[in-house]
Amino acid sequence: MTINFYKYQGTGNDFVMVDNRNELFPKNDTNLINSLCDRKFGIGGDGLICLENDADENIDFKMVYFNADGNESSMCGNGGRCLVAFAKFLNIIQEHATFLAVDGLHEAKIKKNTVELKMQNVENIQVNENHIFLDSGSPHHVQITGKIDDLEVKRIGAEIRYSDLYGKTGSNINFVEKIGEDTFKVRTYERGVEDETLSCGTGVTAVALAMAAISKTSSNEVQLKTPGGELRVRFQKDGQGFKNVWLIGPAIQVFKGEILC
Ligand SMILES: N[C@H](CCC[C@H](N)C(=O)O)C(=O)O
């Protein structure tokens, strides 16, 4: 079988994109998806995303997201932004999109070379002694650290992700260092990739909201500097939670190809 694909990256979080409107892609083949994401034996990627049609004519397309381990997973913010850019490339949309993902409907806007993605509202933020936990479309542990550049993210992240704290479901693990009034450095260990990724969209969204929740910033738009580049998150406080949450950053097509499998 030959699979045609496009490779996209959003601040270094990279994805194999498949136009699956014909629904021929074997989505249940976990081993195949894992091998397509393999950086030595396959295309390479932090995840694989299928673009599909939705029966509702008010929905431009549907997003089906798989982590690199081949399992379908929760929402991917950077992947959602890349999918919007892919949909524009395919002439499915122009500068505005409404699409359905695993966590519900999302609105997106394309502005020059950035994609602004509206994330779901976040109501429940658990502030603990040494960390904050919230779900910004995917589950995220947020922990403040010093000297973030020296951190062994993969080792320490895996310890927390597989600890009793998160049981079988696990969580993504984010480390954050404040470097300005509305600027933070973020490094993320991603569940389902089981490694540090160069950025994580739902991760920086969770970090931005967590920092606002514990008054580490008074701004309603924060800059997140990740190893893969800079992302912005805009939000509005809404009681104990947040609404009008937007994830903003680049989404780039890197190459296209076909792979025999
Ligand atoms: N690995 C995450 C999903 C992808 C999140 C990340 N790539 C993003 O940009 O939000 C999880 O299983 O919870």
- Which residues does 190 contact at the CB level (< 8 Å), separation at least 6? 46, 67, 172, 196, 197, 200, 203
Report which of 254, 197, 259, 182 is spatially closest to residue 229, judged by C-alpha positions: 197
Mean of the per-residue pLDDT values of the chain:
98
To the question of whether residue 78 is assigned a binding role by annotation, the answer is yes
Looking at residue 52, its amino acid is: E
Nearest one of 35, 39, 38, 44 to 15, comparing CA atoms: 44
pLDDT over 90 (residue 256):
yes
Residue 130 known to bind ligand = no
CA of 67 to the centre of ligand 1 (A): 7
pLDDT tops 90 at residue 113: no
Q: How far is residue 239's CA from residue 249's CA, in Å, rounded to a whole number?
A: 27
261 is catalytic: no
pLDDT band at 261 (very low <50, low <70, confident <90, very high): confident
**Per the structure block, which two tokens stand in for 122?**
């976040």
d(CA 26, CA 206): 32
Whether the CB of 161 sits within 6 Å of ligand 1? no
63 burial (CB, 10 Å; 0-12 / 13-18 / 19+) is buried
Q: Is 82 a catalytic residue?
A: no
Q: Show the domains of the chain with their CATH numbers.
A: 2-119+251-260 (3.10.310.10), 125-243 (3.10.310.10)
What whole-number distance in Å separates Cα of residue 192 and Cα of residue 175? 18
pLDDT at residue 112, as a whole number: 85
Looking up tokens 């490694």 gives 195
Above pLDDT 70, what percent of the chain? 100
Confidence of residue 1 (pLDDT cuts 50, 70, 90): confident
- Relative to the CA of 193, which ligand 1 atom is closest? 1
Task: Read off the pLDDT of residues 21-44 as tens digits, 9 standing for 90 and up.
Answer: 999 999 999 999 999 999 999 999
Q: Is the pTM of this model over 0.90?
A: yes
Residue 194 token pair: 């089981």
* C-beta of 223 in contact with ligand 1 (< 6 A): no
Confidence at residue 169, expressed as pLDDT on a 0 to 100 scale: 96
Residue 140 has a pLDDT of 98
Each residue of 179-235: pLDDT tens digit?
999 999 999 999 999 999 999 999 999 999 999 999 999 999 999 999 999 999 999
Q: Is the CB of 42 inside a 6 Å radius of any atom of ligand 1?
A: no
Confidence of residue 59 (pLDDT cuts 50, 70, 90): very high
Chain position carrying tokens 């002694």: 129
**67 a known binding residue?**
yes
In tens, the pLDDT along 93-103 reads 999 999 999 99
Output the pLDDT for position 16. 98
Relative to the CA of 201, which ligand 1 atom is closest? Answer: 9
Helix axes 201-213, 77-89, angle to 10 degrees: 130
Query: pLDDT tens for residues 120-149?
Result: 999 999 999 999 999 999 999 999 999 999
